[in-house]
Structure 1
Amino acid sequence: MEKRPERTRQVLISAAADLIADGRFADAGLANICRTAGVSRGALYHHFGSIAELVAGVYEQASERVDGLFEEAFEKSATDAPAEFSITLGAALLDERLVRAGVRIGPSGTDDPPRLREEILAKLRERVVADGSSHAKDIDCAADLAVVVTAGLESLGHADAYWWQPKTARRIWDIVQQLDQS
């Protein structure tokens, strides 16, 4: 059974994530978070020392979720892992406000770089290079391509969720993998 303090803390994190995910970072102010969470200002400050600390909690949970997606994708075939990660990341961005908010913020609880988005892309590139299992002759080129496709799908999806749909991402990755093998 979840204890009330932990439930209140999670409600606050969810409220901040909801406001950041589909709005502007500035929308995640004290009054809006408290109203969305249905708690008092005192409750917010009981659980978090500042709004930045609360937003850092959003980052932390989003980062853990994305790390799970990353590890799940790379447990499979290293050759298919970049595509699988990119596709599942898009699906998470489409369906999960926590992840959508998380890519827009950094560990300090601000929207200043480095944000989770940049960390994801750097980790993806490092992993593709380290695995070295692409069919491409130039592993650095394959790693760069994985980052460009993932970044493109992520960026485009903020304006049109079509790009986050698994069907769309799979189609793009099928084309990329065909080019990689030729």
Structure 2
Amino acid sequence: MVKQERAARTRETLIRSAAEVFDRDGFCSASLTAISSIAGVSNGALYFHFASKSALADAVEAAALTRLLAVTRAELPAGASHVQLLIDVTHHLADALRGDVVLRAGFALSGELSRPARVVLRDHWRCWVEEALERAEMEGEFRTEVAAQDVVTAVVAATVGFEVLSMQDAMWLSATAVSRFWRLLLPTVVPAALLVDLEVGGT
């Protein structure tokens, strides 16, 4: 049991260390020696857990998906709108991307062209946004001339854009940047009667 616990801790340490190196250097330039060094283990120990750099990247993506699912698992509070829930979750996601290197690396790996992604986090995010906005449309939270899919396009493009741009400037994941987006978008999609109750900075 002790050996199993130690092995599990080593594996988690390697995943986080790999995420740090992938986040800093990119997948192609990432060195397994650098990863094992940060993790404080030998190269042999690394290969015991992961046969290749691609296997490590797969593990980082899987761990990042777990974190993304935790962000999107938020439940609708009593009396709240689905649009407000979406606003809140976009803020939670931006905050998580700023502070969680595993989640951040997982998103970056999803867009890495030099390897086939096992878990495409951006697709998971798009699917969640679609479901949230379809529920909002069913509840009559949009202006009559607005279709849910149009809002999906805007929200996914903006939020994924923030995630990509943040690789060079973390300001794109700030609460201010996310709030500015919602302040601009909401009047075009939400009736005025509902707009007054929405908090662009999240609840």
TM-score normalised according to structure 1 size: 0.85
Match of 1:28 in 2: 30
Match of 2:197 in 1: none
Offset, 1:113: 4.9
Structure 1 runs of 4+ with >6 Å offset: none
The alignment-based identity, stated in percent, is: 25
Match among 64, 67, 71 for residue 65 of structure 1: 67
Match of 1:135 in 2: 142
C-alpha contact (below 8 Å) 1:83/1:146 kept by paired residues: no
Matches for 1:3-152 after TM superposition, within 5 Å = 3-72=5-74, 75-76=76-77, 77-106=81-110, 111-113=115-117, 116-131=120-135, 132=137, 133=139, 134-136=141-143, 137-152=146-161
TM-score normalised according to structure 2 size: 0.77
Q: How many pairs are equivalent?
A: 178
Query: What is the distance in 1 between the residues matched to 2:187 and 2:92?
Result: 20
5+ residue gaps, structure 2, are: 192-203
Cα distance per residue 1:147-171 (max 9 Å; x no partner) = 1221222222222111101232123
Residue type at the aligned position of 1:93:
L
Offset, 1:143: 1.7
* Farther-moved stretch of structure 1 (167-176 vs 130-139): 130-139
Cα distance per residue 1:112-167 (max 9 Å; x no partner) = 45763432343134313531344143122122222122122222222211110123
Match of 2:183 in 1: 174
Match of 2:201 in 1: none
- Cα RMSD after superposing both structures: 2.4
Over 3 Å counting, the alpha-carbon distance change for 1:30 and 1:114 in structure 2 is: closer
C-alpha contact (below 8 Å) 2:83/2:133 kept by paired residues: no
* Farther-moved stretch of structure 1 (58-67 vs 79-88): 79-88
From the CA coordinates, give the structure whose radius of gyration is larger.
2
5+ residue gaps, structure 1, are: none
Q: Residue 36 of structure 2: SS of its match in structure 1?
A: helix
Offset, 1:180: 1.8
Q: Report the structure, 1 or 2, having the larger helix content.
A: 1
C-alpha contact (below 8 Å) 1:69/1:85 kept by paired residues: yes
